Structure 1
């Protein structure tokens, strides 16, 4: 989750020479890892009343609240034309992940039945990029289907599969892969072909192939390679995750709090002309920006803060827990 915040904050200092490489390195694996973990934790989801109620409380309600809050925030502090945008049907910025999680989980009882869902999800991911229709913008379906293979892979992972990733010598291999991905990110613009647009947009899975100005066949080959890199990077990073508990372990419970609130801080910095300030103060600002992003994540995840903010993220569950106490 902290890396998600860093990735969003790096957009504020894109002028720095090292930012594109670091940005692409992060986006090679951090969203795929997030989606795969979401799939792994969704394996038990079923179309039962308790599960559907939990989905409504933890995904639908926060989406309705924060989609409105983000749009209102942007209207007052930055983008004054946001009143013309479509609220709730067209997720804004990080809100796409909530709508995607809702759709993924609703499809889970079908996707989890057979391993053939994995290759079929890859086909769907490759195919959705050919669509440049308006319907793909609803609930960010372009991106939702684009990242679907990682979710389905997570659904079909077993605990013993993860144990193999966390073997005795796998961290060494994982570190080598991570270093290799970082080096590859320095050359990503050479194979992420993008005529007249930012190459890193390939890593968002949110734009149709036509927007990159290349043939459908070439575009599918690029997306397939990105999917493979996402899987490799995800397992490499997972092999490096510490096994023991530490001072930040319990902060993982506040992942949704950090995710939903960090955007307001990053946007506020943007609207306060942070980019212009960074332009005037040299290359060290990239490291300062990363430090600010880490601080935002840690403060929001700190138990005293997270407990209070959970009332906004999960109001129904918070009321139920308060009553039970």
Structure 2
């Protein structure tokens, strides 16, 4: 990419998209474009075609998606599969039709089978049954990465995909009803501290193991792949390190400064018990993460305190 190449970041105000825009600017890229939902409805094929016709982006980062935690994915599976497939179909096809130089599609580690060997290698995709609580979202993301592979195979389009682990950081969704576990707990602990509550509820047993990557590290990996990777296979993005939900909750409790108790609600679902990505492929290309988990939680909590109403 040239520093003045026109780069369209779909979802530029979200958790991942905003971090990618920050990273591109830090690296000296000057021609980055984005559209809010009110300016461009990615669900509308005609609107997307008109946008590509008018702007003719050279590079596309597909970071727009309908996302949520276990609760939202369980309640709205039809919305998750339909909206995500509609958005990505429109953008990937338009990127092909308007001869985009390169497209990066962002998926999620939930695409892998529920009972996957650990750590999870890229080739384990479609080797078993998906986790039922987020099957709709996972199927949409699998379809997206396969579309990128097939457009590359049939037409030679330079479309690549990466699959991040659990992400967190500035511009996250802190809504208690449909957010992921990290931002939900940050908000719970903060409100419990402010209101002098005796305890905080954590969903499940606290025993599942999870891997977390600070979103600015994820953005750095995305730009690295745009600059350096052209393979057909998707690439895992993570830290290669894991801890239990309980351990993470204790870490957030410490950072926030909450002094009460943790209560584990074992009537709530745990989800997949372990989900650690094998990141040897990405690290073999020469990239590695920089922000450790406690430092990342401190950064995320500082952003929450400053910005969240």
TM-score band by shorter chain is 0.3 to 0.5
Q: Which has the higher helix share?
A: 1
Q: Taking structure 1 as the reference length, what is the TM-score of the superposition?
A: 0.31
Q: Taking structure 2 as the reference length, what is the TM-score of the superposition?
A: 0.32
